[in-house]
Amino acid sequence: MMRSLFGLGKPEDSSLVPPTAEKKGSSDSAVSQVNVPALSPIFDFDSSTNDPVQVIKALSDDEQRTFDRIKADIPELTKNLPAVDPEAQKYVDMEVPLDIDGWLSDECIARYVRARKGAYEDTKRALRKTIEWRAATRPHALRPDAVEIENRTGKMYFNGFDKSARPIIYMYNHRQNTKDADSQIRWVVYTMEATIRHMRPGVEKVILAVDASRWGFSNSVSIGTARKFLDTLANHYPERLGHAIIFNPPRLFVGFYSVLAPFVDPATRAKVAFVNPDAPALEQPEATPDLGTPPAPASVSNSPWIALEKHFERDQLEVDCYGSWQFQYNHTVFWQAVEAEFAEHKANLLQNAMVEADATS
């Protein structure tokens, strides 16, 4: 189930989708966007439109002790880093500085400590593993042109913020357009890196807005690909998922999830919620041909069904994801914004490197 949530999988067979399943105003291909509004995506948080309440879990006493030990280990953790992998060089801008020191902030270390439940050796190994991965693959230096093919149809992208100022990553699984697993994962990594760059201070997590209205097993990938994808997120982006909000899940999805849910880690399960966009908070959604009715919850707190308004303002949620913001994915416009964002990111890192070089000379 989780592998389909994140926009991976095989391209959907259009012959399996009846015309009546087409969503209003939805644009599922780069070549069918003539009438799509040319609205620019929102990458920067507008503090005048939200009053976010951030809750970042404080470290326990044991976790704090581990944090302090890890801080002392930083010189060791950043020694003898690997060179850039030859395969990775095909996709990255080698002019972009590595900047491990900038990445390895106190907040970053705390996320690894929390993710490893304060275990010192586990935290140290996990951090070193990611530091080596970042040195070898340079995820922050992935070039837009190297990943562009993955989002020509707008299947997954960062655009705007929720009520808590968390960046929203939209996922439209039915827009799948590629098969290569490594290429798909590079796009996931690029999206995470760009999203994290635009988190305001005090924000650590993303929120996923997943349109599951056309979910099906045809969108699944191999177990091996799914494992690699999930391992990348768990190992190199720990404590980054705030919530995964599943919009309009079909009956098959709800049934599949109900079977899988008892085996999912409770902390992860608590982050997954379903939305019937027309239903009020925590009320039983009515059964429809496309949306199975969930069983009556034993208690309100245990219900996975929530109202859209719990996390989103409708006027800040894309119309294709049941909001009222008239943004629809236009690849030309969106990609111009992506390229401009990367250029600014590169310039900032180069400027920082120059300042550091002047300070040490």
CATH number of the domain within which 311 lies:
3.40.525.10
Residue 68 lies inside a defined structural domain of this protein: yes
Q: Average pLDDT in the 173-190 region?
A: 91
User: Among residues 104, 121, 142, which one ends one of the domains?
Assistant: 142
Q: Report the pLDDT averaged over residues 99-113.
A: 96
Confidence of residue 78 (pLDDT cuts 50, 70, 90): very high
26 within a domain of the structure (yes/no): no
Which helix (H) or strand (E) segment is 274 a member of?
A: strand 272-275
Same domain as 185, residue 126:
no
Cβ neighbors of 222 (< 8 A, separation 6 or more) are 181
User: pLDDT band for position 74 (50/70/90)?
Assistant: very high
CA angle, corner 307, sides to 302 and 309, nearest 5? 130
Position 283 scores a pLDDT of 46
> Region 175-185: what's the mean pLDDT?
89
pLDDT, position 218: 65
Give the end of a domain, one of 108, 142, 176: 142
Query: Do residues 108 and 170 both lie within one domain?
Result: no
Average pLDDT of the segment spanning 291-296: 43
Give a yes or no: residue 86 inside a domain: yes
Q: Among candidates 157, 293, 166, which has minimal Cα distance to 241?
A: 166
Whether residues 240 and 285 share a domain: the answer is: yes
Answer yes or no: do 325 and 203 share one domain. Answer: yes
Residues 184 and 316 in one domain: yes
The answer to whether residue 228 scores a pLDDT higher than 90 is: no
More confident residue, 26 or 115: 115
Helices in the chain by DSSP H: which ranges?
A: 2-5, 61-77, 100-103, 106-115, 120-137, 144-147, 181-197, 223-236, 251-260, 266-269, 331-360
Domain stops at, among 88, 113, 142 = 142
Sequence-ordered list of residues with C-beta below 8 angstroms from that of 257, at least 6 positions apart, any chain: 1, 249, 272, 304
% of the chain exceeding 90 in pLDDT: 60
In SS3 terms, 25-85 reads as CCCCCHHHCCCCCCCCCCCCCCCCCCCCCCCCCCCCHHHHHHHHHHHHHHHHHCCCCCCCC
Domain co-membership, 191 together with 70 = no
For residues 124-152, average pLDDT: 98
* Angle between helix 223-236 and 181-197 (nearest 10): 20
Q: Is 343 part of a structural domain of the chain?
A: no
In a domain, 355, yes or no: no
The mean of the pLDDT values for the chain is 83
**Cβ neighbours of residue 274 closer than 8 Å, sequence gap 6 or more:** 245, 246, 249, 254, 294, 304, 305, 306
Largest CA distance in the chain: 69
The pLDDT of 218-245, averaged and rounded, is 80
CB 146 within 8 A of CB 193: no
Between residues 353 and 226, the one the model is more confident about:
353
Residue 298 lies in a domain: yes
Percentage, residues of the chain above pLDDT 70: 78
Within a domain: residue 294?
yes
Domain match, 226 and 298 both: yes
- Judge whether residue 1 has pLDDT over 70: no
Residues 228 and 86 both lie in one domain: no
Is the pLDDT at 278 greater than 90? The verdict is no
Same domain for 320 and 178, yes or no, is: yes
pLDDT of residue 51: 60
Residues 13 and 83 in one domain: no
Domain containing 114 equals 61-142
Residue 225 has pLDDT above 80, yes or no: no
Task: Give how many domains the chain has, as a whole number.
Answer: 2
Average confidence (pLDDT) over 108-119 = 97
- Domain-located, residue 28: no
Determine the pLDDT at residue 24: 37
pTM: 0.85
Query: Does 110 share its domain with 154?
Result: no
Q: Are 89 and 220 in a shared domain?
A: no
